[in-house]
Chain A
Amino acid sequence: MRPFEYIRPASVAEAVGVISERGEDAFVLGGGSAAVVMLRLGVVRPELVVDLGGIEEMRGLSRNGGLRIGALVSIRSLELDDGVRGAYPLLAEAASQVANVRVRNVATVGGAVAYGEPQTDTPTALTASGAVVRVAGVSGERSVPISEFYVGPYETVLEQGEIVSGIDVPEEPPHTGGCHVKFTVGSPENKPVANASALVTVDPPSGTCVSARVVMGAAGPVPVVANAAGALVGIEATPERIADVAAEAAEEADPMEDLRGPEWYKRRILRIVVERALTCALQRART
């Protein structure tokens, strides 16, 4: 690995101060599961590595009206936390499907968001959950809806000197069901060929959908919100209507050919994961 300087600031203020001062020379490390590999491969060649791991104020996971996730909360904590599993099962379900347990132990939610990798599960579920990203910079904090956070693959609206300090997720209304479906080839630890998160709220007496959100991952340069899901609002979602929505959603996606398959294949898989996620989310919303 190329040599670099290393610091481990103790506060957000200290971190953003040094990052904005050093500009392009600084590289931010969260849990390190992606960052250390990038350093080793020489994908990044910083003069200074700023390890955020020592910032206590970015560690908390709390529920108070909504879910407040500190950027340093591990993917594994999101997977195992009883409060998250009870009130935000979509997030816990998506987190449990990320890579392997070693990665989930160190990878952070803030890191997964800031990295901007399109082929992963956490941003898909956070987008379906209506999450808001807290961004800290030298002039203070700003909030960006995660649906507006991504610009392209590995590209976000973060400006020079800014870091993700946390993520806020609004409380799910009653009679809401969420479901995350990941499809892989080979081992389940592999990156998804495609994934989908669905979050559906129903009106119990009539059984009609009050809201239906579907987001697709590994489906384009950024998490893709399927507008087709809007067609389910105000109707009783039958399997036929769900199948129609899934077919339309797959057409809205913009998957890229890679080692996990050509574009046409990924579209077929997207149709299937959207159909499964919606069917499962509806079932959970009704029970």
Chain B
Amino acid sequence: MNVTLTVNGETLSLDVPPSTTLLDLLRDRLGLHGTKEYCHSGVCGACTVLANGRAVSSCSMLAGQVDGADVLTIEGLTPDEGLHPIQQAFVDNFGLQCGYCTPGMILLAKALLDENPSPTREEIIRYMGGNICRCTGYAGILRSVEAAVKERRSWS
């Protein structure tokens, strides 16, 4: 079947089997390995991408469901030079250790800040707690997102 979608600003028309997930499409077809694969059940958040601005689990969506959608992955968030301010906030605040959950965490943080530019600490905890990190204990992630909120004015 044919799907047309925009990935990181580039509109693509692809012929894929109907059982292809958005995650398969990104990793195997487009070689965008920044989106990670883990639980395959919408729980862990390693495969988080933004579809039409909303955070979704790319493992739990079929390619047909994103026909016409605008998808952003970690590769698209990263500028040609340097880092996006949310990425920089994670580096500066030790928001990662092994790094496997990080692309998903950063895209989830982007979705949060786009929806709510000045979330409270409680709102950050509730939102980001939906993605699983088994290294940091979340303290560094919380600090990173709080720092990104403060920086928000400079990058909007």
CB of B127 closer than 8 Å to a CB of A: yes
Known contacts A29-B62, A32-B65, A51-B62; is-contact A102 B55 (Cβ 8 Å)? yes
A51 and B42 contact, CB distance less than 8 A: no
Q: What are the residues of chain A within 8 A of B129 when measuring CB–CB? A: 100, 187-189
Q: Which 7 A-B pairs have the closest CB atoms?
A: A100-B130, A6-B18, A1-B19, A105-B54, A36-B60, A102-B57, A37-B41
A105 and B55 contact, CB distance less than 8 A: yes
Chain B positions 8 through 35: 1 when the CB is less than 8 Å from some CB of chain A, otherwise 0: 0000000001110100000000000000
| A6–B64 alpha-carbon span in the complex (Å) | 8
| A33–B62 alpha-carbon span in the complex (Å) | 10
Q: What are the residues of chain B within 8 A of A2 when measuring CB–CB? A: 19
B62 and A102 contact, CB distance less than 8 A: no
A-B contact pairs, 14 of them (CB 8 A): A3-B19, A6-B18, A8-B64, A29-B62, A36-B59, A36-B60, A37-B60, A99-B42, A101-B111, A102-B130, A105-B56, A187-B129, A189-B129, A189-B130
CB of A264 closer than 8 Å to a CB of B: no
Known contacts A100-B131, A102-B45; is-contact A4 B19 (Cβ 8 Å)? yes
A102 and B48 contact, CB distance less than 8 A: yes
Q: What are the residues of chain A within 8 A of B1 when measuring CB–CB? A: 6
Known contacts A2-B19, A37-B60, A106-B60; is-contact A101 B130 (Cβ 8 Å)? yes
| A146–B21 alpha-carbon span in the complex (Å) | 33
| A6–B54 alpha-carbon span in the complex (Å) | 24
What 11 additional pairs, Cβ within 8 angstroms, besides A2-B19, A6-B18? A33-B60, A37-B40, A49-B62, A51-B62, A51-B65, A101-B55, A101-B108, A101-B127, A103-B60, A189-B43, A189-B129
A103 and B57 contact, CB distance less than 8 A: yes
Chain A residue nearest in CB terms to B17: A3
Chain A residue nearest in CB terms to B21: A36
Q: What are the residues of chain B within 8 A of A6 when measuring CB–CB? A: 1, 18, 62, 64
Q: What are the residues of chain B within 8 A of A130 when measuring CB–CB? A: none
CB of B77 closer than 8 Å to a CB of A: no
Chain A positions 37 through 51: 1 when the CB is less than 8 Å from some CB of chain B, otherwise 0: 101100000000101
Chain A residue nearest in CB terms to B61: A32
A residues near B (Cβ < 8 Å) are 1-6, 8, 29, 32-33, 36-37, 39-40, 49, 51, 53, 76, 99-103, 105-106, 187-189
Max count, chain B CB within 10 A of own CB: residue among A3, A5, A33, A101: A101
Chain A residue nearest in CB terms to B104: A102
A37 and B42 contact, CB distance less than 8 A: yes
Q: What are the residues of chain A within 8 A of B61 when measuring CB–CB? A: 32, 36, 106
Q: What are the residues of chain A within 8 A of B60 when measuring CB–CB? A: 32-33, 36-37, 103, 106
Chain A residue nearest in CB terms to B131: A100
Among B44-59, those with CB < 8 Å from A are: 45, 48, 54-57, 59
Chain B positions 107 through 130: 1 when the CB is less than 8 Å from some CB of chain A, otherwise 0: 010010000000000000011011
Max count, chain A CB within 10 A of own CB: residue among B21, B41, B48, B108: B41
Q: What are the residues of chain B within 8 A of A40 when measuring CB–CB? A: 21, 40, 59
Max count, chain A CB within 10 A of own CB: residue among B54, B65, B108, B131: B65
Chain A residue nearest in CB terms to B52: A105
Minimum Cβ distance to chain B for residue A118 (Å): 18
| A36–B40 alpha-carbon span in the complex (Å) | 9
| A26–B43 alpha-carbon span in the complex (Å) | 26
Chain A residue nearest in CB terms to B57: A102
Max count, chain B CB within 10 A of own CB: residue among A49, A53, A99, A102: A102
Q: What are the residues of chain A within 8 A of B42 when measuring CB–CB? A: 33, 37, 99-100, 102-103
A51 and B64 contact, CB distance less than 8 A: yes
| A102–B43 alpha-carbon span in the complex (Å) | 9
Minimum Cβ distance to chain B for residue A11 (Å): 17
Among B78-129, those with CB < 8 Å from A are: 108, 111, 126-127, 129
Max count, chain B CB within 10 A of own CB: residue among A49, A76, A100: A100
Minimum Cβ distance to chain A for residue B145 (Å): 14
